[in-house]
Structure 1
Amino acid sequence: MHRELADIFVDINRDPETKVVVLTGAGDRIFCAGGEFSAMQESIENPQAAVVSMQEGIKLVHALLAVDKPTIARINGHAIGFGATLALFCDLTYAVDTAKIGDPHVLVGYAAGDGGALIWPQLIGYARAREFLLTGDSMRGAEAAAMGLVTRAVKADALDDTVNATAKRLAEGATVAINATKQAINMPLRRQFSALIEAHIGLELMSHFSNDHVEAVAAMLEKRAPVFSGT
C-alpha cells in the first residue's frame, strides 16, 4: 500500500474525469496508524528495508503534493505518525472530533523526518509544533481544529455530509480556476518540501541506527516502558 499510494496519485492526476480526491481510512476507528512495530523490528535487522521505506515515503508525499486537483482528508479516526503527515498534506482536512492526531516519532526513537517537521509548523506555528513534535503528544480532532491543524472537526455522524458537500461543491465548480488556485497555494510548500525532505529523511535514517530506537521498538513489542540511554 505504501508503494501503491504514490502510484495512484500519479494516475489520478492523469484522469480527466476525476475532479476531487478524498483520502480516508477503512472502517470507523483509524485513518492511518503509522508504522507497525513488527516492521520496525525487521528494519532494524535489515537496515536496507528502512532506506527503501523512507524513499517510498518521499515519493508518496511528492505525488500527493503534485496532484493538481483538490485533495480532502476524511479523517475518520486516529491519524498517527506518517498517517498524520498524509492527512495534513491534503488541501482540506475534516476530522472526527474524537480522532487522535499526533506525530510520535520521538517516542519510538525516530526523528520526525517524513514530512511532519515541515507541515506541522506551517499549520500551527513553530511554538506549538515544537511542543507536539518534541514530546510526541497527540491531540483530539476538536483541539486540532481549534488551533488550525485541521480544517474542521465534526461529530462522527456528520463527517460524510461535511466531506461530501465540500467535494460536490468543488467538483461542480470552475475546475480550471479551482485547480490553478490550489496549485498557487501549494507552490511555496512544494518548494520547501523538495528542498528539505532529503535532509529530513537523512536525519530520520540517522536516528534509525540509534540505541534508543532499538530500545523503543523492543519495549513496544514486549509491552513495557522503554528505558532510553540517549544514544
Structure 2
Amino acid sequence: MSTSYDITQDKWERFTFSREGRVLTAAITSDHPVNGVDEQMHTELALVFNCLQRDSESDIIILTAKGRAFCAGGDFDWFEEQINHPERFRAIGWDAKQIVTTLLNMEKPILCRMNGAAAGLGATIALLCDIIIADETAKIGDPHVKVGLVAGDGGALIWPQLIGFAKAKELLMTGDLLTAKEAERIGLINYAVPAAELDAKVAELVAKLQANPKWAVRWTKTTANIPLRALAAQLMDASIGWESVSNYLGDRREAVAAFKEKRAPKLTGE
C-alpha cells in the first residue's frame, strides 16, 4: 500500500491549502462573514486533522482562515435547525469528539495563525493547537452559555489547562471575550502581534521548529499531549452529552432567538 497522500487532491468545501516547502497552510474558507460553523464545516473539521497528519508532503501545519475572522463559532441558522430538530444535534456528537481527539492526536506541530476573532468551537480549535499567534486586535472567548449551550465541544477541557480553573470557569460561565493582548498576558495564547507582523512572527516560529530535528520536535509534542488526550477521553462523552441536553431547553431557544432579533433574552430558567 502506498504511503503517499496529498491532502490538496481531496475535495474540500470549507478549507483551502497551500504549501511552502514542507510547511502546509490550511485555511478555513467559507462564505460566512465570520467563518461560522455550519454542518459542512463541522463535518470537515472532524476529518481534516487526520488528513493533515497523513499528508506526506508536510512536516509543519499552519492553521488559519480567510476573511476577517478565524472562526466565530456556530452559525445561527444551523443553531435554529438543531433546536427545531434535536436529532440533528445528537447526530453530530461523534464528529464533535473527533474534532478534539484528532487535533490532539496529531504528531505534526500545528501553529494557529489567529487572523481574527475565535469564539466557541473556533476558540477551542485555536487553543488545541501547539502555538497560537494572534492579530492583537482579535478577540477570543467561549460564549456557549450566551446561546444556551454547555461549553461541551472542548472548551471545558482546554481552558482550565492553560489558565487554571478559577479564571477558566469565570470565562466559560460568563462567556466573556478577551482581547488577544489580554489572552497573551494570562497565558491563554502565545503571542499577540500587530496584523502587519503576524506572518513574520509565524515564519519566525516555523523556522525555529525547522532548525531542530523533526522527530525530536514531533515526539516531544506528542508526549506533551498525553495528559490532554487522557483528559479528553475522560471528559468528552459527558461534555457532549450535557451539551446535547442543553440544546433541548427553553432558554436555549430564547437565547438564540434574542441574538438573531438583537434584543436582550427573556430567560425563565428552563
TM class by smaller structure: over 0.9
Q: Which runs of 5+ in 1 are unaligned?
A: none
The match for 1:10 among 50, 69, 88 is 50
| Post-superposition CA distance 1:160-216 (Å, at most 9, x none) | 010122123323420110011000100000010012101011111111111110100
Task: Report the Cα distance in structure 2 between the residues aligned to 1:127 and 1:40, rounded to whole angstroms.
Answer: 29
Equivalent positions of 1:1-231 (< 5 A) are 1-27=41-67, 29-231=68-270
Corresponding letter in the other structure for 2:177: S
Task: Report the Cα distance in structure 2 between the residues aligned to 1:80 and 1:54, rounded to whole angstroms.
Answer: 19
Task: Report the Cα distance in structure 2 between the residues aligned to 1:171 and 1:217, rounded to whole angstroms.
Answer: 45
Task: Report the Cα distance in structure 1 between the residues aligned to 2:42 and 2:188, rounded to whole angstroms.
Answer: 24
State the 4+ residue runs in structure 1 displaced beyond 3 angstroms. Answer: none
Q: Does the residue aligned with 1:224 lie in a helix, a strand or coil?
A: coil
Corresponding letter in the other structure for 1:184: T
CA RMSD of aligned residues (A): 1.1
Task: Report the Cα distance in structure 2 between the residues aligned to 1:26 and 1:181, rounded to whole angstroms.
Answer: 30
Corresponding letter in the other structure for 2:61: V
Corresponding letter in the other structure for 2:258: A
Note the C-alpha offset of 1:218: 1.1
Corresponding letter in the other structure for 1:138: L
Note the C-alpha offset of 1:4: 1.7
Normalised to the residue count of structure 1, the TM-score between the two structures is 0.96
| Post-superposition CA distance 1:99-144 (Å, at most 9, x none) | 0101001101111111101110000001111111111101100000
Count of residue correspondences: 230
Q: Does the residue aligned with 1:22 lie in a helix, a strand or coil?
A: strand
Normalised to the residue count of structure 2, the TM-score between the two structures is 0.83
Note the C-alpha offset of 1:97: 1.1
| Post-superposition CA distance 1:48-106 (Å, at most 9, x none) | 11112333221111111111010111110000000000000001001111101010011
Note the C-alpha offset of 1:18: 1.0
Give the helix-richer structure, 1 or 2. Answer: 1
Task: Report the Cα distance in structure 2 between the residues aligned to 1:86 and 1:54, rounded to whole angstroms.
Answer: 16
Corresponding letter in the other structure for 1:10: N
